[in-house]
Amino acid sequence: TGDESEKMFRKAVELDPKYYWGNFGMASRLLSKTPPDTAGAIEYFRKSIDIDNSYPSTFQQLAGIYFQKKDYANALKYADLYAITTPEEFQPIKLKNDILIAQGDKAKAEAALIEYAGKNLHDPQVKKALVDLYRNDKRYADAIVYQRQLVASSTRNPGDALFDLAKLCVLAGQND
């Protein structure tokens, strides 16, 4: 049960305060409680980082906690650290993008996506994110550029990508 796991994690941390997984486990357990103990989770996640800062999931968890609390400065700080530990993965960039959009900074969100796209030319996730960003901002011509790239890079049936391209063209008033 949850109480039993919490007792075990507490005991692990008591026996060895420098045990990364004890601190990380305790933080995760506190976060999974109803209601979550976010203050306690933050404390244990930070201790985990002090012990070993090479695990991306700790930064991801902290960025998520701060994002939910609408503490965008700390959310961005940890999202950036998450991205540093996993430079080839899109998930940290997506998290950073979501935070930037939530705080109303679409220009920085776009810049982060474009920077990642430039380094990861074949990642369809970033192209999809750019299409979504531009479509939501009613910048259909820009969205069409990336949607065309998604169509061109589709290795299986490009039907869905073509359908999405057609919808964007209609929204942009283009007939081709």
Instruction: Note the pLDDT of residue 154.
Output: 80
Q: Is the pLDDT of residue 57 over 60?
A: yes
Range name among 58-62, 66-70, 86-90, 171-175 with the lowest pLDDT average: 171-175
8-18 pLDDT, tens digit each: 999 999 999 99
Query: Distance between CA 43 and CA 8 in Å, rounded?
Result: 18
What pTM was computed for the model?
A: 0.84
Instruction: Note the pLDDT of residue 105.
Output: 94
Instruction: Note the pLDDT of residue 161.
Output: 85
Q: Average per-residue pLDDT in the chain?
A: 92
Instruction: Note the pLDDT of residue 91.
Output: 94
Task: Give the mean pLDDT of 128-137.
Answer: 94
Cα→Cα distances 13→6, 9, 41, 46, 68, Å: 11, 6, 14, 14, 27
Pair 85, 93: CB distance under 8 Å: no
Instruction: Note the pLDDT of residue 2.
Output: 59
Task: Name the CA dihedral angle for 94, 98, 99, 105, rounded to a multiple of 10 degrees.
Answer: 110
